């Protein structure tokens, strides 16, 4: 399976004002996609990924929904400058936050704009399965609830199968463990989907695990406001802390500087020594190349390349499916060499 990570000109057909700070862009984009996926926008010298709010099973038009981030480079540019008829550059859809097969109930918990991919999943689950679907959304106040009318219409159309509950911080305070446990109730066999800001996600996941939901039943789409700081705009990003031990004898050789990383990008081939705990993306930068990247969290898939020699282990993978990994694709922002010599090739 070869994924298209090139950029394509896409025309905006309409813009829908969802809330004061959230807009949906209806795109003239004939991309095939799965409910829950995202596409990556290239603008203002940066790459940012936004989820689809449409479903390929219920909607004839592809839509992506963007919330304005205070001080954000791309989201503010999109809100302030784009109009119907304008062209933007996007990748084809990608991502693995997709509906699992089965008959188990679907329970979703989302915060703020995290409802965007959840809406896509809900539409598909209701239209193509007989599964029971329940969603808890958390927002600051009533005016900030995204897709309120759409969700209400679905609840009316699928009465008895679909439940939507809105939590409003200004009336109820922040979401609590007790509220999450009460909402999940006895649906301990459900597939549970989570999307929202990091603190919300951490609370939800910890509460679910403590409530008896299995880790394998939880599907999470993690995001933070991916707007560049001054350092990120210059292509510099902090490396997340982690604990990694030597995987094998080759790893021990890398600790002493014995391994190499070769990167092929845009007709250039560069080789550098391996550095302990350095990602393939960081090695490529150190080699003087400018590889594509966006989130650097293993979520968006923008940094994908193919391993043509050696092996690498990904710390996090929320973008590639099993078939793609088996074919040698790797998220270079998360991949670390586990053999003495590794070669990765970016798509032309």
pLDDT digits (tens, 9 = 90+) for 100-111: 999 999 999 999
Parallel, antiparallel or unpaired: strands 62-67 and 87-90: unpaired
- With bands split at pLDDT 50, 70 and 90, how would you rate the model's confidence at 62? very high
pLDDT for 263? 96
What's this model's pTM, rounded to 2 decimal places? 0.75
Range with lowest mean pLDDT among 30-39, 181-190, 215-224, 225-234: 225-234
Other beta carbons within 10 Å of 251: 20
- In-domain check, residue 98: no
CA distance 47 to 300: 10
* CB distance 56 to 33 below 8 Å: yes
Q: Is residue 228 part of a domain?
A: no
CB burial string 99-115: b at 16+ within 10 A, e below: beeeeebbbbbbbbbbb
Residues 140 and 195 in one domain: yes
Provide the 3-class DSSP secondary structure of residue 301.
coil
Q: 177: domain CATH number?
A: 3.40.50.80
What is the spatial distance between Cα 66 and Cα 48, in angstroms, rounded to a whole number? 10
339 in a domain, yes or no?
Answer: yes
The answer to whether 82 touches 95, Cβ cutoff 8 Å, is: no
Claim to verify: residue 117 and residue 210 sit in the same structural domain: yes
| Residues spanned by the domain of 319 | 248-345
Dump pLDDT digits (tens) for 201-211: 999 999 999 99
Q: Region 249-271: what's the mean pLDDT?
A: 72
CATH number at residue 40: 2.40.30.10
pLDDT at 29: 93
Residues making up the chain, counted from first to last: 348
In a domain, 231, yes or no: no
Is the pLDDT assigned to residue 253 strictly greater than 90?
no
Question: What span, in angstroms and rounded, lies between the C-alpha atoms of 162 and 135?
Answer: 8
Cα separation, 92 vs 178, whole angstroms = 40
Report how many helices (DSSP H) and strands (DSSP E) the chain contains, helices first.
Answer: 10, 18
127-162 pLDDT per residue, tens: 999 999 999 999 999 999 999 999 999 999 999 999
In this structure, the answer to whether residues 110 and 214 fall within a common structural domain is: yes
User: CA distances (Å), 73 to each of 18, 80, 216, 225, in order?
Assistant: 20, 11, 36, 11
73 with 138, same domain: the answer is no
Whether 36 and 131 share a structural domain: no
Question: Given pLDDT bands bounded at 50, 70 and 90, which one contains residue 223?
Answer: low
pLDDT, greater one: 171 or 317: 171
Question: Residues 58, 148: one domain?
Answer: no
User: Residue 6 and residue 15: Cα distance in Å, rounded?
Assistant: 24
Summarize the confidence of residues 265-270 as an average pLDDT: 92
Map 43-109 to HEC letters: ECCEEEEEEECCCCCCCCCEEEEEECCCCCHHHHHHHHHCCCCCEEEECCCECCCCCCCCCCCEEEE
Cβ neighbour number for residue 302 with a 10 Å cutoff: 23
Q: Are strands 87-90 and 38-43 parallel, antiparallel or unpaired?
A: antiparallel
Residue 84 and residue 125 in one domain = no
User: CA angle, 219 as apex, 150 and 192 as ends, to 5°?
Assistant: 60
- Domain end position, chosen among 34, 65, 90: 90
| Residue that is last in its domain, among 177, 207, 222 | 222
Contact in structure between 314 and 233 (CB atoms under 8 Å): no
Cα separation, 161 vs 134, whole angstroms? 8
Q: For the chain, give the mean pLDDT.
A: 87
pLDDT score at 114? 95
% of residues, the chain, pLDDT over 70: 88
Whether residue 235 lies inside any domain: the answer is no
202 and 119 in a single domain? The answer is: yes
- Return the higher-pLDDT residue of 240 and 208: 208
79 shares a domain with 140: no
Q: State pLDDT tens for residues 132-141.
A: 999 999 999 9
Interval 182-196: pLDDT, tens? 999 999 999 999 999
Same domain, 148 and 187: yes
Q: Are residues 275 and 325 in the same domain?
A: yes
Say what the pLDDT of residue 5 is: 53
Q: What's the burial of 332, exposed, middle or buried (CB within 10 Å: 0-12/13-18/19+)?
A: buried
Most confident of 162-176, 225-239, 316-330: 162-176
If asked whether residues 115 and 214 sit together in one domain, one would say: yes
Q: How many structural domains is the chain composed of?
A: 3
The residue ranking higher by pLDDT, 230 or 279, is 279
Residue 240: inside a domain: no
Does the residue 49 lie in any domain?
Answer: yes
Which phi-psi region, left, alpha or beta, contains residue 88 (left: φ > 0; alpha: ψ -120 to 50)? beta
At residue 49, the pLDDT reads 85
Q: For residue range 83-125, what is the model confidence (pLDDT) as tens digits?
A: 999 999 998 888 888 999 999 999 999 999 999 999 999 999 9
Residue 297's CATH number: 3.10.20.30
Sign of the dihedral through C-alpha 307, 310, 314, 317: positive
In DSSP notation, 5-47 reads -S-EEEEEEEEEEEETTEEEEEEE------TT-EEEEEETTEE
Checking if the pLDDT of 239 tops 60, the result is: no
pLDDT reported for residue 222: 72
338 within a domain of the structure (yes/no): yes
């Amino acid at each position: 399976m070869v994924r298209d990570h090139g950029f394509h000109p896409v025309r905006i057909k309409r813009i829908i004002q969802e809330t004061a700070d959230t807009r949906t862009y209806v795109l003239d984009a004939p991309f095939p996609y799965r409910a829950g996926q995202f596409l990556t926008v290239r603008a203002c010298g940066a790459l940012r990924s936004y989820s689809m709010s449409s479903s390929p099973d219920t909607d004839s038009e592809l839509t992506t929904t963007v919330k304005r981030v205070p001080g954000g480079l791309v989201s503010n540019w999109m809100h302030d400058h784009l109009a119907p008829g304008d062209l933007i550059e996007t990748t084809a859809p990608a991502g693995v936050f997709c509906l699992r097969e089965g008959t188990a109930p679907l329970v979703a918990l989302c915060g703020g704009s995290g409802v965007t991919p959840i809406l896509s999943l809900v539409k598909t689950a209701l239209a193509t399965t007989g599964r029971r679907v329940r969603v808890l959304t958390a927002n600051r106040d009533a005016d900030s609830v995204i897709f309120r009318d759409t969700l209400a219409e679905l609840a009316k159309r699928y009465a008895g199968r679909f439940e939507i509950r809105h939590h409003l911080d200004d009336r109820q305070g922040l979401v609590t463990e007790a509220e999450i446990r009460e909402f999940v109730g006895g649906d301990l066999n459900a597939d549970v989907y989570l999307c929202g800001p990091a603190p919300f996600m951490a609370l939800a996941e910890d509460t679910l695990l403590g409530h008896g939901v299995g880790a394998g039943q939880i599907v999470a789409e993690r995001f933070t406001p991916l707007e560049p700081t001054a350092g990120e705009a210059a292509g510099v990003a902090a490396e997340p802390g982690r604990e990694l031990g030597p995987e094998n004898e080759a790893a021990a050789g890398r600790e002493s500087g014995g391994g190499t990383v070769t990167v092929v990008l845009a007709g250039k081939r560069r080789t550098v020594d391996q550095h302990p705990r350095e990602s393939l993306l960081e090695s490529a930068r150190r080699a003087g190349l400018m590889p594509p990247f966006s989130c650097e969290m293993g979520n968006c898939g923008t940094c994908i390349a193919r391993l043509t020699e050696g092996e690498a282990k990904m710390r996090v993978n929320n973008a590639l499916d099993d078939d793609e990994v088996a074919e040698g694709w790797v998220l270079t922002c998360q991949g670390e060499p586990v053999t003495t010599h590794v070669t990765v090739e970016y798509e032309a």
